[in-house]
Structure 1
Amino acid sequence: MVKFYQHTSSFEHAWDNVTYAFWLRYPNPFASHVIGCDVLDRSVDPVTGVLRTTRLILKQGVLPRWGRSLIKSPDAYIIEESEVNPKTHTMVTRTKNLNHVRVMQVEETQTFTIHPENPKWTQVKTEARIISELRWGMTGRVESFGINKFMDNSVKARKGMAHILERLRQNAAAAAAASAVAPLEA
């Protein structure tokens, strides 16, 4: 059995700002479980201009009491592959865990596009699959736990992005104010 999740959300920020914030989203107060994030590979296709990035993310999860006998360490290594197309204003990210895959595999795809109703906003479509290969009647329990945890974490991820976007807005406002004052001081 497989559990699916799908959600579409919006940020009242331009696509350029949201995709920029995506790269800056760790650390933030809503992602204390993220221990580290490293770029493994990054390239730009010379013909299409598409930026491709592969990152390795280390997260520390929380295990339910019944899951502690199945997984010795709650640390999870996540591979994230992304493509940013500046011409079509589309960013697609795909993530999946590299360890604990027999117990629970989490595969997530996010698509960032210009909002269809307001070109100054960004729409994000999130899709996920939670798959467990456990037997002994545990599959459904593990997948249900996984989908519930994923939904909770999705809310935190949106709050984290909103936090980073607000910080970017504040920094831009401060820089604009500083540049407006600088000529007067000269």
Structure 2
Amino acid sequence: MVKFYQHTSSFEHAWDNVTYAFWLRYPNPFASHVVGCDVIDRQVDPETGVLRTTRLILKQGVLPRWGRHLIKNSDAYIIEESEVDPRTQTMVTRTKNLNHVRVMQVEETQIFTVHPENPKWTQVKTEARIISELRWGLTGRVESFGINKFMDNSVRARKGMAHILERLRQNAALAGTPVVGAATTPADC
């Protein structure tokens, strides 16, 4: 069995700024579980201008009491692959965990686009799949735990992005300049 999650949210910020904030989102007070983030590969397609980046993210997980005998180390390595197309103003990110996949695989896709009703805003569509290969009647329990944890973390992730966007806005106001996105030249993490 597989659990699915879908959610669409909006940020009252331009697409350039939201995609720029995406690269700056760690650290933030809502992501204390993120230990580190490293760029593995980054390249720009010379014909299309699409930026492709692969990052490795280390997160410290929290296990329920009943899951502590299944996993000894709750650290999770996450691979994040992204494509930023400045021409179409679309950013697509795909993440999945690299370890503990037999117990629970979490696959997430996010699509950042200009909001269809307000071009000064950004719309983010999030989809996730939670899959467990455990047997012994634990599959449903693990997947339910995973989907609930994912929904909680999604709320925190949106708060973290809002926090970073507000910091960008404040820094731009102090400098007396508009916030300018740099989706084609992201920070390393």
What range is the shorter-chain TM-score in? over 0.9
Count of residues paired in the alignment: 177
TM-score (norm: length of structure 1): 0.95
Corresponding residue of 1:51: 51
The separation in 2 between residues aligned to 1:93 and 1:154, in whole angstroms, is 14
List structure 1 segments (4+ residues) > 4 angstroms apart after TM superposition.
Answer: none
Question: Shift in Å at residue 165 of structure 1?
Answer: 0.1
Task: Give the Cα–Cα distance (whole angstroms) in 1 for the partners of residues 163 and 65 of structure 2.
Answer: 32
Q: How does 1:30-179 map to 2 (within 5 A)?
A: 30-176=30-176
Unaligned runs of 5+ in 1: 178-186
User: Could you tell me how far apart the structure 2 residues matched to 1:83 and 1:118 are?
Assistant: 23
SS in structure 1 at match of 2:161: helix
User: Residue type of the partner of 1:145?
Assistant: F
Work out the CA distance in 2 between the residues paired with 1:90 and 1:72: 39
Following superposition, the deviation at residue 71 of structure 1 comes to 0.4
1:16-35 mapped onto 2 (5 Å cutoff): 16-35=16-35
Normalised by the size of structure 2, how large is the TM-score?
A: 0.93
In the alignment, the residues of structure 2 paired with residue 91 and residue 112 of structure 1 have an alpha-carbon distance, to the nearest angstrom, of: 5
- Could you say which structure has the greater relative contact order, defined with CA pairs below 8 angstroms and 6 or more residues apart? 2
Q: Note the alpha carbon deviations across 1:124-168, whole angstroms, 9 max, x for none.
A: 000000000000000000000000000000000000000000000
- What percentage of aligned pairs have identical amino acids? 90
CA distance in 2, matches of 1:16, 1:96: 25
Richer in helix (by share): 1
Root mean square deviation of aligned Cα: 0.6
CA apart distance, 1:52? 0.1
Structure 1 distance, partners of 2:94, 2:6, is 14
Q: 2:11 matched to which residue of 1?
A: 11
